[in-house]
Amino acid sequence: MYNRFGFLGSGCLLIILNLFCLVFLAVGGWWGYGSFRLVQAGATTSGRVVDILVSSDDDGDSYAPVVEYTVRSLDYQLIGTYTNPPAYAVGDRVTVRYDRANPETARLDSFVELWLFPLVFGGVGLLLFIIINVGYVVSLARRTWFR
């Protein structure tokens, strides 16, 4: 049977685009679940910014704090999210949220560190999913109604 809509109308593109959205939703969900676990079952401790890492590209410089924190007399380090301008200065005291069973798993206790990444990835994935599938349903309806 001849499909006059070709690749776009065959559903293949719809499946590929939905898989793309699924990847975004999965990455956002995975990161968000990790943050949720740290908030619900983790603990907090005080840390100190000991260094600032600098990353340069065509858009300029970005800065990430290197934070040292201590749990049960053992010292750990974490690297925060790159931002511009820098969110912290060397010597700043920060709150670190860590996994009680594995203190190496830790994030700075801030909205940006815990929730921004999953909200952006999950939000973009969900928005694209809605736009793509509503557009597909509307195009199917138009083809059916206006034959």
pLDDT tier for residue 138 given thresholds of 50, 70 and 90: confident
Contact 42, 100 (CB under 8 A): yes
- Scan for tokens 């700043």, then name that residue: 92
* Per-residue b or e along 62-85, where b marks 16 or more CB atoms closer than 10 Å to that residue's CB: bbbbbbebebeeeebebebbeeee
The string of pLDDT tens digits covering residues 76-121 is 999 999 999 999 999 999 999 999 999 999 999 999 899 999 999 9
Model confidence over 23-72: pLDDT tens digits? Answer: 999 999 999 999 999 999 899 999 999 999 999 988 889 999 999 999 99
The pLDDT of residue 10 is: 62
Mean per-residue pLDDT of the chain: 89
**Helical packing angle, 12-41 and 117-145, nearest 10°:** 150
pTM, to two decimals: 0.72
